[in-house]
Amino acid sequence: MIDSVLATGIKSGYRFTGMMVTTGTGTTASFCGRGVPVTVSGITSTGNLKFGVATDGVIQSASALLSFGAGCSLDSNGLPYVSSANPLSN
């Protein structure tokens, strides 16, 4: 379930987007989602990292100051993955 605030695409200073890919009848759908700070610099900054996650479940991050990073892309098989990011350390 997605709450009414998140359904607008912006929550807690981050803008959220996602995509779903189906490869055919009877196959499992794949997905990719990302969260990007609404404001990346100054006193009103809402975050300094972008985050992405794909079907593999690995949360990845990249600097919010880069124009690219933690984006959703499709591989040669048409499956989504998080591009230009590093796995989040825990």
pLDDT tens-digit profile of 35-82? 999 999 899 999 999 999 999 999 999 999 888 888 999 888 888 999
Q: What is the pLDDT of residue 90?
A: 64
* Identity of the residue numbered 27: T
Mean pLDDT value across residues 29-38: 93
Please tell me the distance from the alpha carbon of residue 50 to that of residue 35, in angstroms, as a whole number. 6
Burial of 33 from C-beta contacts in 10 A (0-12 / 13-18 / 19+): middle
Q: What is the pLDDT of residue 23?
A: 72
* Identity of the residue numbered 44: T
Please tell me the distance from the alpha carbon of residue 3 to that of residue 18, in angstroms, as a whole number. 16
Tokens describing residue 31 = 């997905």
Q: What is the pLDDT of residue 85?
A: 92
pLDDT at 26 over 90: no
